[in-house]
Amino acid sequence: MKEINTGSEKVRIRKADVSDAAALIEYLNIIGGESDFMTFGPGEFNRSVEAEAEFIADALKKRNALFLIAVSNGRVVGNLNFSGGPRERNAHTGEFGVSVLKEYWGMGIGEDLISCLIEWSRSSGIIRKINLRVRTDNSRGIRLYRKLGFEEEGTVKRDFLIGGKFYDSLLMGIMIDRKG
pLDDT mean by block of 10 residues, the chain; 180 residues: 78 97 94 89 88 95 97 96 96 97 94 97 96 97 97 97 96 85
Residue 27 lies in a domain: yes
pLDDT for position 180: 46
pLDDT for position 86: 94
pLDDT for position 179: 61
The range of the structural domain enclosing residue 112 comes to: 2-128
Q: What is the CATH number of the domain that holds 20?
A: 3.40.630.30
Please give the backbone phi and psi of residue 54, each rounded to the nearest 5 degrees, phi first: -65, -40
Domain total of the chain: 1
- Classified as helix, coil or strand, 5 is strand
Give the global pTM: 0.93
pLDDT for position 121: 97
Residue 143 lies in a domain: no
pLDDT for position 146: 98
pLDDT for position 30: 93
Return the sign of the alpha-carbon dihedral for residues 86, 88, 64, 116. negative
Residue 174 lies in a domain: no
138: exposed, middle or buried (Cβ count in 10 Å: 0-12, 13-18, 19+): middle
- Classified as helix, coil or strand, 141 is helix
b/e 43-70 (16+ beta carbons within 10 angstroms → b): eebeeeeeebbebbeebeebebbbbbbb
